[in-house]
Amino acid sequence: MIYRLNERLVFPDPEHAEPDGLLAVGGDLSTERLLLAYQNGIFPWYSDDTPILWYSPHERFVIYADELKVSTSMKRFLRKEPFTITINKCFRDVIEACATIERNDQDGTWITDDMKAAYIKLHEEGYAHSIEVWQYEELVGGMYGVPMGNVFCGESMFSRVTNASKAALIHVCSLYKMLDCQMPTEHLASMGGRLIGRKEYMAALNNSD
């Protein structure tokens, strides 16, 4: 059953999500609702031609920091210190790059103008963070998401040069015990990503030690 949200600040039990993870429709992208969603393992994912859709997959694709796989060639590359990495230096630029960069496996973007505005506000209120990767003072890669205790709920990443997004991901895994990638890809699987059930995911989300 797909629930329809109204102005009340509440979500249904994520266990009631459809097989594809769709849980609810509607509501808004206020800071309060977004934070409540992340606290309960829910995230928005929709396009301009649909209402706001809220998902809570029964299985979540994550990378545990202690299971991160970095290839020998990547380690060798990073030892040369090709990038400078910063945090929260230019959140707007990162989300704009994530929204507009062309991707071989994707037609268009799910990062709508409303989504950008909502996450920029979330950042300005101290909740959403960005990781920036620089090369010769040029922004060449990065990632943004929402930290929840020991978990970084990654929303999107981009890369303009080889290995820039990988460098951002590796940096995130040096700061948090888990990176929530939401959906599986072969690339992320090669770096140690795997599916876990909702109970394991929520246990990690609620463990702030």
The CATH number for 7's domain is 3.30.70.3550
> Which pLDDT belongs to residue 108?
43
Q: 74 and 10, same structural domain?
A: no
> Which pLDDT belongs to residue 47?
84
Q: 174 and 151, same structural domain?
A: yes
> Which pLDDT belongs to residue 133?
98
Averaged pLDDT, 46-58: 91
Q: How far is CA 55 from the centre of its chain?
A: 13
Q: 95 and 68, same structural domain?
A: yes
Q: CA-to-CA distance for 99 and 92, rounded, in angstroms?
A: 11
Expressed as residue numbers, the domain containing 7 is 3-58
Residue 208 has pLDDT above 70, yes or no: no
Q: Model-level pTM?
A: 0.92
Q: 188 and 140, same structural domain?
A: yes
Q: Which residue has the tokens 């496996």?
A: 105
What are the pLDDT digits (tens) for 74-131? Answer: 999 999 999 999 999 999 999 999 999 876 554 445 799 999 999 999 999 999 999 9
End-to-end CA distance of the chain: 35
Q: 186 and 118, same structural domain?
A: yes
Q: CA-to-CA distance for 143 and 91, rounded, in angstroms?
A: 9
How many domains does the structure of the chain reveal?
2
Whether the Cβ atoms of residue 65 and residue 174 lie closer than 8 Å to each other:
yes
Q: 179 and 100, same structural domain?
A: yes
What are the pLDDT digits (tens) for 134-181? Answer: 999 999 999 999 999 999 999 999 999 999 999 999 999 999 999 999
> Which pLDDT belongs to residue 107?
44
Residue 14 has pLDDT above 90, yes or no: yes
Q: 119 and 186, same structural domain?
A: yes
> Which pLDDT belongs to residue 49?
83
Whether the Cβ atoms of residue 132 and residue 90 lie closer than 8 Å to each other:
yes
Q: 92 and 190, same structural domain?
A: yes
CATH of the domain at 123: 3.40.630.70
